[in-house]
């Protein structure tokens, strides 16, 4: 399904893709110990061996320079990062003066270091570490700040030089992010915090908790000998989560019993359910809330369940991608591949050769040609837009709602030495017909932005000769993502408006899916215009 435009070149150990390829390059070769330091109002800074902070910054500088969508000099990143120290110490001022980088404290020069070559990641990491050490000699705030706080400040500064989607996550947040993408070790329960512990509000079928006898309403009062009373929901959940296959003992209080119950179970990998199915008359309604590593599998199961339950009565599918912020690129591609027999699904293009990828359909159509209506709005983004554009451009679905968000870039997640993550934008996303999604989003076949009722929506979108609707889509596809005027015009042609409480999108979808003639006309709206 993936056809790389060039032969892949490994740039390090690769972790799981996230709206893009999650791609790691641990180039932590020994960093030179020579420091370009001299002191100006403080004692000299003694050269020292490579520090964890130097390794951290050398790796980050190198990866950003090699991988980011835009070419950015390492000295620009380093100086931006140093300026971020003002978030900890407002009196700190870092500036470049010819061949040196100076540290001023309350306007007074306290030290400086030589400015390395523009793109020497190791030397700039040493320089940043040296200047931080200089600053700690004069600033109590910097001196008492732990490494993580300094990392956050430096990354906050350097990220201002990058795009809006590149970001840093410390170890704790990165761990939660990985759990959302990849799953975590758990026992299959949902809980809510109460003063005396945590109340079980859901027990998943066939989960370790279910097999151990836990029930909805049970109060968890102790986990592995640690009482839950007075602890936050996050603290309790963190203790329930843990290594897969490791046992956990939970003590519960059940209203119907006098004495507490001890239940021991073994953690299994838990992946959040992102797909929710319900039969609505003769239509299979499937809501996809995000894209994690199990989404395509879950959606396939939902379609198969709908076919079993509804049989010949099933007239079509509604895929609700409204408010879906996206997720894993490979899952958006795999989901599209469930319904497209052949053709392009998406293309990614960036500076790094590994970012040049073409994704093509290969697995056939599990719905056997059933009509599909995709619902979307201005909060449908990223992987959701990949799926919507793929189905629309291949004539495999109609889109109903408003213009999507327009997050048409791919991020790669880089694991850092502190167990944190650096999320970098490294490629642009192109729809099957070749247009960029970034800033522009996907335009629906049927716009419901100004809808008052189903009949008026259908008349406006599908009445007459369809010329107006087809032209609007053609103009959208020809717009460039670096043209702000075109971007605003594309969004304005079908703006996202708050719902008034009614769900006209679903009603429009059901009406169109129930009429072969209406569905065919709606598909024609998104067909490419000859010569466009």
pLDDT reading at 288 higher than 70? yes
- Considering the domain architecture, whether residues 361 and 455 belong to the same structural domain is answered as yes
Of all residues in the chain, the percent with pLDDT exceeding 90 is: 70
- Domain boundary among the residues 213, 239, 270 is at 270
- Considering the domain architecture, whether residues 497 and 454 belong to the same structural domain is answered as yes
Could you give the CA distance from residue 490 to residue 503 in angstroms, rounded to a whole number? 24
199, part of any domain: yes
Domain count, the chain: 3
Could you give the CA distance from residue 365 to residue 346 in angstroms, rounded to a whole number? 17
422, part of any domain: no
- Domain boundary among the residues 126, 150, 175 is at 175
pLDDT of 271 reads: 82
- Considering the domain architecture, whether residues 170 and 317 belong to the same structural domain is answered as no
DSSP string, 325-382: --B-HHHHHHHHHTT-SSEEEEEEE-SSGGG-EEEEE-S--TTTT--EEEEE-TT--T
pLDDT of 487 reads: 66
- Considering the domain architecture, whether residues 17 and 96 belong to the same structural domain is answered as yes
**Does residue 193 contact residue 178 with C-beta atoms inside 8 Å?**
no
């894209």: which residue's tokens?
291
- Domain boundary among the residues 175, 198, 230 is at 175
- Considering the domain architecture, whether residues 223 and 307 belong to the same structural domain is answered as no
316, part of any domain: yes
């839950």: which residue's tokens?
228
Handedness of CA 335, 336, 338, 343 (dihedral sign): negative
pLDDT reading at 496 higher than 50? yes
342, part of any domain: yes
- Burial of residue 343, with CB atoms counted within 10 A of its CB: 0-12 exposed, 13-18 middle, 19 or more buried: middle
Could you give the CA distance from residue 128 to residue 84 in angstroms, rounded to a whole number? 11
Q: What is the pLDDT of residues 60-88, one digit of tens each?
A: 999 999 999 999 999 999 999 999 999 99
- Considering the domain architecture, whether residues 399 and 386 belong to the same structural domain is answered as yes
- Considering the domain architecture, whether residues 17 and 125 belong to the same structural domain is answered as yes
- Considering the domain architecture, whether residues 474 and 387 belong to the same structural domain is answered as yes
pLDDT reading at 209 higher than 50? yes
With a CB cutoff of 8 Å and minimum separation 6, the contacts of 235 are: none
CATH classification of the domain holding 370: 3.90.226.10
**Distance from CA of residue 246 to its chain's centroid?**
29
373, part of any domain: yes
Q: Which two tokens stand for residue 62?
A: 């190198």
- Considering the domain architecture, whether residues 169 and 264 belong to the same structural domain is answered as no
CATH classification of the domain holding 194: 2.30.42.10
């075109």: which residue's tokens?
486
421, part of any domain: no
Q: Which domain does 112 fall in, by range? A: 11-175
Instruction: Give the pTM.
Output: 0.78
Q: What is the pLDDT of residues 246-257, one digit of tens each?
A: 999 999 999 999
- Considering the domain architecture, whether residues 342 and 454 belong to the same structural domain is answered as yes
pLDDT reading at 457 higher than 70? yes
pLDDT band at residue 486 using 50, 70 and 90 as cut-offs: low
| Average pLDDT of the chain, as a whole number | 86
SS3 of residue 139 by DSSP: coil
What residue ranges in 134-238 does DSSP mark as E strands?
167-169, 184-186, 189-194, 197-203, 219-223, 226-227
- Considering the domain architecture, whether residues 331 and 454 belong to the same structural domain is answered as yes
pLDDT band at residue 481 using 50, 70 and 90 as cut-offs: low
Region 195-203: what's the mean pLDDT?
93
Region 416-440: what's the mean pLDDT?
93
Residues acting as catalytic residues: 382, 393, 407
- Considering the domain architecture, whether residues 230 and 299 belong to the same structural domain is answered as no
Question: Given the DSSP bridges, would you call strands 167-169 and 316-320 parallel, antiparallel or unpaired?
Answer: unpaired
């Amino acid at each position: 399904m993936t056809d790389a435009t060039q032969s892949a070149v490994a740039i390090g150990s690769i972790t799981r893709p996230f709206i893009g390829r999650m791609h790691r390059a641990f180039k932590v070769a020994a960093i030179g110990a020579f420091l370009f330091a001299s002191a100006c109002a403080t004692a000299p800074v003694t050269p020292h061996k490579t520090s964890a902070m130097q390794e951290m910054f050398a790796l980050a500088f190198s990866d950003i320079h090699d991988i980011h969508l835009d070419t950015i000099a390492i000295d620009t990143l380093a100086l931006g990062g140093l300026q971020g120290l003002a978030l900890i110490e407002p009196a700190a001022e870092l500036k470049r003066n010819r061949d040196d980088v100076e540290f001023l404290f309350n306007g007074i020069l306290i030290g400086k270091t030589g400015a390395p070559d523009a793109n020497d990641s190791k030397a700039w990491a040493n320089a940043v570490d040296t200047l931080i050490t200089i600053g700690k000699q004069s600033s109590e705030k910097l001196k008492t700040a732990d490494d993580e706080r300094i990392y956050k400040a430096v990354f906050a500064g350097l990220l201002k030089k990058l795009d809006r989607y590149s970001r840093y996550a410390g170890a704790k947040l990165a761990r939660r992010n990985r759990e959302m993408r990849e799953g975590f070790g758990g026992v299959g329960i949902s809980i809510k915090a109460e003063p005396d512990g945590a109340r079980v509000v859901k027990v998943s079928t066939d989960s370790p908790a279910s097999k151990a006898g836990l029930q909805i309403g049970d109060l968890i009062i102790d986990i592995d000998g640690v009482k839950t009373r007075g602890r936050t929901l996050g603290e309790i959940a963190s203790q329930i989560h843990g290594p897969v296959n490791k046992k956990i003992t939970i003590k519960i209080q059940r209203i119907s019993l006098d004495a507490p119950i001890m239940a021991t179970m073994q953690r299994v990998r838990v992946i959040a359910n992102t797909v929710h199915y319900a039969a609505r008359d003769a239509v299979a309604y499937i809501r996809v809330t995000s894209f994690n590593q199990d989404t395509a599998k879950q959606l396939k199961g939902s379609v198969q369940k709908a076919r079993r339950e509804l049989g010949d009565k099933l007239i079509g599918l509604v895929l609700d991608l409204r408010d879906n912020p996206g997720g894993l690129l490979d899952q958006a591609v795999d989901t599209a591949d469930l319904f497209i027999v052949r053709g392009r699904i998406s293309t990614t293009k960036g500076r790094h050769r590994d970012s040049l990828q073409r994704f093509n359909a290969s697995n056939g159509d599990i719905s056997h040609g059933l009509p599909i209506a995709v619902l979307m709005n201005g909060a449908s983004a990223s992987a959701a837009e990949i799926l919507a554009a793929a189905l629309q451009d291949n004539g495999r679905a109609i889109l109903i709602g408003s213009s999507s968000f327009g997050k048409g870039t791919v991020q790669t997640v880089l694991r850092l030495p502190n167990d944190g993550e650096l999320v970098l934008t490294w490629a642009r996303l192109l729809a099957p017909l070749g247009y960029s999604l970034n800033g522009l989003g996907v335009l629906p076949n049927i716009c419901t932005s100004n809808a008052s009722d189903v009949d008026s929506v259908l008349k406006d979108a599908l009445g007459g000769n369809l010329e107006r609707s087809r032209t609007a889509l053609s103009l959208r596809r020809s717009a460039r993502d670096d043209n702000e005027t075109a971007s605003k015009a594309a969004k304005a042609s079908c703006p996202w408006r708050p719902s008034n409480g009614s769900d006209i999108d679903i009603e429009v979808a059901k009406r169109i899916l129930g009429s072969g003639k209406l569905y065919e006309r709606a598909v024609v709206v998104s067909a490419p215009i000859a010569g466009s």
